[in-house]
Structure 1
Amino acid sequence: MCGRYVMARAVGDLVAELEAEADASLELRASWNVAPTTDVPIVLERLIDGAVHREVHVAKWGLVPGWAKDPAVGVRAFNARSETVAEKPTFRAAFKSKRCGVPVQGYYEWKKSPDGKTKQPYFVHSADGSLITFAGLYEWWKDPAKEDGAADQWLLSCTILTMASPPDGELATLHDRLPVPLSPAGLAEWLAPATKETGPLLEAALAEAWDLAAQWQLDPVSPAVGNVRNNGPELIEAVTL
């Protein structure tokens, strides 16, 4: 699964790495302890006058489907299982036409001690510090309590897809679920707004995921990351066990 991650890139750096564009007024809050229900950057593609535009937007982490009566639904929908994403009512519409990438600098996972009494957090990240982009979905939800045209009438939200962890290796010892990473080429395919055959698209993403994840580095970090109130670059500094 993925329930806590790091995104502290400046807008300009994020746009450059993703080869995207962003509104001049877009603001991102650097965070070394991103938690569900907070605002996060996503990257998506739209067809505008026949041309594809790759854009960075800010969305609430926890997908709220268009039919939801209350946005609180998103609290439980920050991850979507790849095995059931095509059938689950919360995700199936977004899977067909609203796919996005969720860029991260790394994510946290907790490993149980042999006696099961404590958990050690690890920061999972690319060895060279480059961005990892997870396969995600996004949705727009209209608040019926707001007047038409109100600035806050529409809520943009997102979720991160997960899959089974590799059967062996260090990642397998952390958790049985893995957020689905995308290569640059895989991201381009995943985002393509004209693609309607989502089954093969998902299969292609899953097929390369374990190889991409095998290149990640796992560093033990301070237990301080367990408290969402703690938020600073010291959280990703490796500690000696």
Structure 2
Amino acid sequence: MCGRYVMAKAIGDLVAEAEAEADANLELRQSWNVAPTSDVPVVLERLVDGATVRQVHVARWGLVPAWAKDISVGVRAFNARSETLLEKPTFRDAVRARRCAVPMEGYYEWKAGPGNTRQPYFVHRRDGKLSWFAGLYEWWADPAVPAGDPDRWLLSTSVITLAAPDPQDDDPVLAGLGSLHDRLPLPLSPAALADWTAPGTLSNTAALDLLAQVLGQAYTTAAAWRIDPVDAAVGNVRNDGPWLLEPGPEEPAEQEMLPFEAMAKD
């Protein structure tokens, strides 16, 4: 599951690391406690005058498919299981035609302790650079807003997850990820980032082949991460700031979860 994460880099730094372009008026709020339904950056590629252009956009975290009657569909669609992407109506069109990358400085995961307690950990790259995770995006037209009004269109996204490594893996990082949670967001190496975001509509077979290719590099990419205990205050979505990343005691603490985070099966 990926239910909270950190994205506090300035938009200029994000654009530089993504080797992308962005609208001069693009605004992005720094956050050390990003939660579902927040506005988040996504990186996607589009064909512009016959050339492939990588762009940074801001999307609502929680995928709202084009056929949805309202945005409430996205409340529980902030994660998408890799195993069932082509089976679920919410995701199957997007995986064939609207693939993106979701940049993060790292994400939080909670390890269960005695009773209802959980200890939060921050999973991130050792070198401090951004991690890129496979995502999907959709454009949704609000039927209550007149056609032609730019406010009619909502861009939304979901982060794809995969099964976590075996807790008994020989690699200590992969074993740690496996003992932390049974799911993890699908990471992208630089090469996988380019392949995943390449524009174009794929057949079901081609989409499955691409997904298999990206899944094949996931654990190798994840093995370069760190897993650090952090302040238990991150469990409250109202808390935000760099102080949340300060080392925390490896002791279980109570976690306040958003209602739809508690319901999510990813």
Q: 2:128 and 2:64 mapped to 1: Cα distance? A: 31
Could you tell me which runs of 5 or more consecutive residues in structure 2 were left unpaired when the two chains were aligned: 168-174, 251-266
Selected match of 1:178 from 175, 180, 184: 184
* TM-score normalised by structure 2 residue count: 0.89
Identity between Structure 1 and Structure 2 (%)? 65
Q: 2:196 and 2:79 mapped to 1: Cα distance? A: 17
Q: 1:217 and 1:195 mapped to 2: Cα distance? A: 36
Contact 2:231 2:249 in 1 (8 A): no
Higher strand share: 1
Alignment of 1:85-104 (within 5 A): 85-104=85-104
Q: What is the match of residue 230 of structure 1?
A: 239
Alignment of 1:162-241 (within 5 A): 162-168=161-167, 169-194=175-200, 196=202, 197-241=206-250
* TM-score normalised by structure 1 residue count: 0.98
Q: 2:241 and 2:194 mapped to 1: Cα distance? A: 32
> Structure 1's 195 and 201: CA in aligned 2 closer, same or farther, altered over 3 A?
farther
Q: Secondary structure at the match of 2:55?
A: strand
Q: 2:197 and 2:62 mapped to 1: Cα distance? A: 19
Alignment of 1:63-78 (within 5 A): 63-78=63-78
Could you tell me which runs of 5 or more consecutive residues in structure 1 were left unpaired when the two chains were aligned: none
Q: 1:194 and 1:75 mapped to 2: Cα distance? A: 27
1:195 deviation in Å? 6.0
Q: 1:151 and 1:193 mapped to 2: Cα distance? A: 23
User: In the TM superposition, what whole-angstrom CA distance separates every residue of 1:155-206 from its partner, at most 9, and x where no partner exists?
Assistant: 0000000000001210111110010000011000001113622111100111
User: In the TM superposition, what whole-angstrom CA distance separates every residue of 1:71-125 from its partner, at most 9, and x where no partner exists?
Assistant: 1100000000000001100000001100000000000000012x34411000000
User: In the TM superposition, what whole-angstrom CA distance separates every residue of 1:21-59 from its partner, at most 9, and x where no partner exists?
Assistant: 000000100000000001000000000111000000000
1:148 deviation in Å? 1.3
Q: Secondary structure at the match of 1:170?
A: helix
Q: 2:116 and 2:72 mapped to 1: Cα distance? A: 32
Superposed CA RMSD in Å reads 0.9
Q: What is the match of residue 80 of structure 2?
A: 80
1:209 deviation in Å? 0.5
Name whichever of 59-68 and 166-175 sits farther off: 166-175
Q: What is the match of residue 43 of structure 1?
A: 43
